[in-house]
Amino acid sequence: MSDIAMHAPSMAARRASMGEALAAWALTLPAAIAYVLMLLLPTLATVMLAFTDFELGIDGFQWIGLDNFAELFSDRGFMQSLRNTIIYVGLVTPGSIIGALVLALLIEAGTRGRTLFRAVFFLPVVSLTVAMAAAWQYLLHPTIGPLNAMLREIGLNGPAWLSSSDTVLLSLAAIGIWENLGFNLVLFLAGLTAIPRELYSAAEVDGVPSAWERFRLVTWPMLGPTTLFVLTITMIRSVRVFDTVAVLTQGGPNKASQVLLYTMYEEGFTYFRIGYSAAITLVFLAIVLALMWLQTKVLDKRVHYV
């Protein structure tokens, strides 16, 4: 009887542990199935199709190795979209980060209306991109648009913002800055709130009177982790620009606003070249992975965490 009594608690503990493990697997299983079906398998299928000549509507396909990638980098249209994407990211990333940081500093320094300003600037983030793109199409219209109307009032002739090769990418970049500004603003406000107020008091005691010097010596170093995160997220969000291009310009005029994701969509769902479109997708994924590597291996070493 004593041996049974001694083994009974251990057996009960094992059954309880097994029950917890089964419950954990039961709770994890739906997410695991969704991950496999919606992310892992499509990614593997994309990798496989990138090395084939598969086209919708044509029976069968052949393995062609790296031919799709060789065609990509000899295709003037693809190189144009890659160049446009790099320019777009180069304009949107610093513009939205610097603008959000300046606004965050102004809002944090103010005593009234913080909640209102946060809501106003965050509005583009929660708005439907397609609906807001239609609003921008009206605002930037060359004849009836309010922007050109204001320019005419001061004696200037406004350009055709979205239908001129000279201005279309700049216009899309301005819209991209507006879209990312609110999201980055909220992140910077969170970072500013987390900075201990004692550091500013200590800076004043040490003879740092000007606001610029306090920003350079206290605020900016303490915002390092937040800035790194904002930089990475903004670059990735900029690289995958699609909605505004699809609604406003369709890559025109003369491919002046053609970007990577729109080229991928056009090749896959307009020309039905699924293999070629998959190759563009892999190039896009490689760019995103490179940005993540840049964050973890290079920029992360320059950030001071407290």
Q: Mind listing the pLDDT tens digit for each residue in 75-84?
A: 999 999 999 9
Tokens, residue 14: 């094992």
**Hey, what amino acid is at 134?**
A
| Cis bond upstream, residue 253 (ω within 30) | yes
φ and ψ at residue 209, rounded to 5 degrees? -80, -35
Q: Where are the alpha helices (DSSP H) in 154-259?
A: 168-193, 197-205, 211-214, 220-222, 224-239, 243-248
**Chain mean pLDDT for the chain:** 85
- Does 203 score more than 70 pLDDT? yes
Identify the DSSP state of 52. B
Q: Highest mean pLDDT range out of 134-143, 166-175, 204-213?
A: 166-175
Q: Which long-range contacts (CB under 8 A, 24 or more apart) does 29-36 make?
A: none
Q: Kindly report the pTM of this predicted structure.
A: 0.85
Q: Over the stretch 129-152, which tens digit does the pLDDT of each residue have?
A: 777 888 888 899 888 889 999 989
User: Cα angle vertex 105, ends 103, 107, to 5°?
Assistant: 65
Inform me whether the pLDDT recorded for 218 exceeds 90: no
